[in-house]
Structure 1
Amino acid sequence: MTLWRIRATVADRPGFLSVLTASLALRGVNILTVQVHTTEAGAVDDFLVDAPAELTAADLVAAVERGRGRNCWVTRSEAQGLADQPTRVLGLASRLVRDPDALGETLRTLLSADSVTWRPHPGQDGPGHGAETMRLPDPDGGSFEVFRSAPSFTPAEYARAQALVDVAGAVARQAVDRVTLVLPDGAELAVRPAVPDDLPALRAMRERCSRRTLHRRFPAGAAPATVRLRRLLAPARGVALLAVTGGSDGRPEHVVAVANLVAEGAVAEVGLLVEDDWQRRGVGAALLRRLVAHATRAGYAALLAHVPADNVGMIRILDRLCPPGQVDRDGNLLTLTVPLTDRYAEPGLTAVPPAEPAPAGTAPVDQTSATADR
């Protein structure tokens, strides 16, 4: 017996798959696994089969066509093809968590591609796929172009590949966003992405904030309840960054600031809450700079910030980092719209804001430390 992979398009109608499998069974072909890819042209069925040794690829194609299959593709397979597909994809995702730089090779393995080429820009067509070529964004900038002569790519394969790209991007952002801030007054804070387990520490910080501080962060009403705080810590799209003290030498960790970026469509909303004792020390500027960098890396067109008119500090920080292109006023509430793509990127390129020089007398910015502005 010999292992083969067979892919064919079948009319997405009741009974048509059974006709194809019956045709294979008449030739003594045993179907080991099957995956169904839904496409506009019909259901693309991907089989791993065990066939009698005397059968050739032409025999299998003929059996598929007799079973009303079309666009048939057949190739020999190895024993590793018996691996469960979800298990295989999870294994590749686990590899990316350990080594996000292996994204190109992981995509080649996932898609059994002929080649994977990195490009320094997304390309005019942007992400997507055709019959032989798939284009995927690189979380660090640029894009991957995946080529496979046969079989044709399907939407399901593109979705799997995009999911692995998202894993690599999340891991890379976790690494980039873990830094130590050295404030102008010499104090040090750790900045890291928030996790759901940070909820008690965030509630404790909220209790330490004055009513005035809470109103400036949540001008629409009272400070949010636990359910909303939990959503702010883990937005469906976006990121939440915490500035914390302690956490080393056995000292408990205390959250002193939280910055949120919550995306909806091409626009992302930013919010910032800094504990009273840590205000006017550069913490807010440092966190917002990281949110702007995150938003431009992710390709959002603009940032929104809803700010009370008397929150002069927040307005000045935003104006210094990325001056608003539009300001709308509703009573005492200002809505600042900050365009990102047009401001920082050339057409067709992912936006990246220009680097700002560090203030004199402060520590340099690198992967493990960053200096807050005044």
Structure 2
Amino acid sequence: MALWRIRATVDDRPGYLSVLTASLALRGVNILTVQVHTTEVGAVDDFLVDAPEQLTEADLRAAVERGRGRDCWVARSEARGLADQPTRVLGLATRLARDPEAAGEALRALLGADTVTWRPAPAGQLGGVGAHTMLLADPSGGWYELRRGEPTFTPAEYARAQALVELAAAVARRDADRATLVLPDSAEVLVRPATEDDLPGVVRLHEICSDRSRQRRYLGGSALPSPVRLRRLLEPARGLTLVAMPGSGGEAEAVVAMANLVGEGDEAEVALLVRDDWQRRGLGSALLRRLLGHADRAGYAAVLLHVAAANTPMLRTVRRLGRPTSVQRDGEVLAVTVPLDATALRADVPRPAGVTVPTRRSY
């Protein structure tokens, strides 16, 4: 017996697939796996079969045509083809989770493409699929061009490939926000994106912080935020939350700082909470710079900070950024805007008369 891959299009009507499988069965062909790709011209059936040694490619093609199949493609397969498609995709996803730079190789393995080429282009480039060419938009910017002679691409393959590219981009963004920082006093701090598993450590951070530190962070009082509110902050719908832990890592209870970036429209609001014994050591400045870098990559026009006018350390941290800023006062609260692109407000350009101070959001 020999392993073969067979792909053919049949009319998407009741009973037509059974006619094709019966034609193969009459010649002793055992179907091991089958995938169905729905297209505008019919159902594209992709088989992995075990056929008698004496059957040739021409014999299998003839059997498909007698079973009402058309646009037939037949090729010898290897034992690795016995792994079903979901298993193969999960394996490739695991590989990308470890190495997002391997996206091109993963696409080639997923689709058996003849060539995979990455080309620079603005983010948001529209993709598409043709018979022998596939364009996949890379969320990080640019796009992948895949080419394959036979068999032709299907919309289902395009959807799988695009999902794989988006996974690689998401992992790359996560890795870009993870680093071990060395503070001016030589202390090492691991900074990484937060997850809901960090909730116990973040709750403990709030318990240890002084009333003054919590009041400066939330502006509305020093009471402990509820676990529900903190859970929302750890994984915002739009934005990023970073947590910092001493050394090269540790248990969630070791969280010594939390930095939040929450997006709304073309702006993102930033807030920091640093444990009292870790303040004045450069950690707040390092976290703020990393959030600004993330906001820049995400395409926000500006970052907004609401700071108590009496919070001199935080205002000093903002000045250390070395970026132009615009400051507006609303009672005892300052709204500090840090532009991230040329269209955002510059510090040396006054706001037109009547422009209101940005509303302080409660998060």
Give the TM-score, by structure 2 length: 0.72
Residue 150 of structure 2 aligns to a residue whose secondary structure is coil
Partner of residue 349, structure 2: none
Partner of residue 352, structure 2: none
What are the equivalent positions in structure 2 for 1:292-311 lying under 5 Å apart? 292-297=292-297, 299-302=298-301, 305=304, 307=306, 310=309
Q: Mark the CA change 1:168 to 1:71 in structure 2 (over 3 Å): closer, same or farther.
A: same
For residues 142-187 of structure 1, the C-alpha deviation after alignment (integer angstroms, 9 at most, x for no partner) is: 5432221222323332333334334434544454433333445655
Q: What is the rounded CA distance, in whole Å, between the counterparts of 1:318 and 1:136 in structure 2?
A: 41
Partner of residue 127, structure 2: 128
What are the equivalent positions in structure 2 for 1:1-374 lying under 5 Å apart? 1-119=1-119, 121-122=120-121, 126=125, 128-131=127-130, 132-136=132-136, 142-184=142-184, 187-210=187-210, 213-214=213-214, 217-218=217-218, 224-235=225-236, 238-246=239-247, 254-261=254-261, 269-275=268-274, 277=276, 278-279=278-279, 282-297=282-297, 299-302=298-301, 305=304, 307=306, 310=309, 313=314, 317=318
Q: What is the rounded CA distance, in whole Å, between the counterparts of 1:11 and 1:212 in structure 2?
A: 71
Q: What is the rounded CA distance, in whole Å, between the counterparts of 1:210 and 1:39 in structure 2?
A: 62
Structure 2 contact 113–146 (Cα < 8 Å) conserved: yes
Structure 1 contact 191–243 (Cα < 8 Å) conserved: yes
Structure 1 contact 178–193 (Cα < 8 Å) conserved: yes
TM-aligned CA deviation for residue 258 of structure 1: 1.5
TM-aligned CA deviation for residue 81 of structure 1: 1.0
Once the two structures are overlaid, the 10-residue window that deviates more, 180-189 or 101-110, is 180-189
Q: What is the rounded CA distance, in whole Å, between the counterparts of 2:12 and 2:215 in structure 1?
A: 56
The amino acid that maps onto 1:272 is A
Residue 146 of structure 1 aligns to a residue whose secondary structure is strand
**Percent identity for Structure 1 against Structure 2:** 60
TM-aligned CA deviation for residue 220 of structure 1: 8.0
Residue 28 of structure 1 aligns to a residue whose secondary structure is coil
TM-aligned CA deviation for residue 203 of structure 1: 0.4
Partner of residue 359, structure 1: none
Specify every segment of 5 or more residues in structure 2 that has no aligned partner in the other structure, as ranges. Answer: 345-363
Q: Mark the CA change 1:130 to 1:140 in structure 2 (over 3 Å): closer, same or farther.
A: closer
Give the TM-score, by structure 1 length: 0.70
Q: What is the rounded CA distance, in whole Å, between the counterparts of 1:201 and 1:224 in structure 2?
A: 14
Structure 1 contact 135–145 (Cα < 8 Å) conserved: yes
For residues 83-109 of structure 1, the C-alpha deviation after alignment (integer angstroms, 9 at most, x for no partner) is: 122222222233334444333222211
The amino acid that maps onto 2:234 is L
Structure 1 contact 325–339 (Cα < 8 Å) conserved: no
Q: Mark the CA change 1:18 to 1:230 in structure 2 (over 3 Å): closer, same or farther.
A: farther
Structure 2 contact 124–139 (Cα < 8 Å) conserved: no
Residue 243 of structure 2 aligns to a residue whose secondary structure is strand
Q: Mark the CA change 1:242 to 1:14 in structure 2 (over 3 Å): closer, same or farther.
A: same
Q: Mark the CA change 1:335 to 1:13 in structure 2 (over 3 Å): closer, same or farther.
A: farther
Q: Mark the CA change 1:151 to 1:232 in structure 2 (over 3 Å): closer, same or farther.
A: farther
TM-aligned CA deviation for residue 34 of structure 1: 1.0
| Bigger RCO (CA 8 Å, 6+ sep) | 1
Q: What is the rounded CA distance, in whole Å, between the counterparts of 1:71 and 1:326 in structure 2?
A: 66
The amino acid that maps onto 1:230 is R
Q: How many residues align?
A: 339
Structure 1 contact 213–273 (Cα < 8 Å) conserved: no
Q: Mark the CA change 1:63 to 1:232 in structure 2 (over 3 Å): closer, same or farther.
A: farther
TM-aligned CA deviation for residue 114 of structure 1: 0.3
Q: Mark the CA change 1:78 to 1:38 in structure 2 (over 3 Å): closer, same or farther.
A: same
The amino acid that maps onto 1:128 is G
Q: Mark the CA change 1:55 to 1:341 in structure 2 (over 3 Å): closer, same or farther.
A: farther
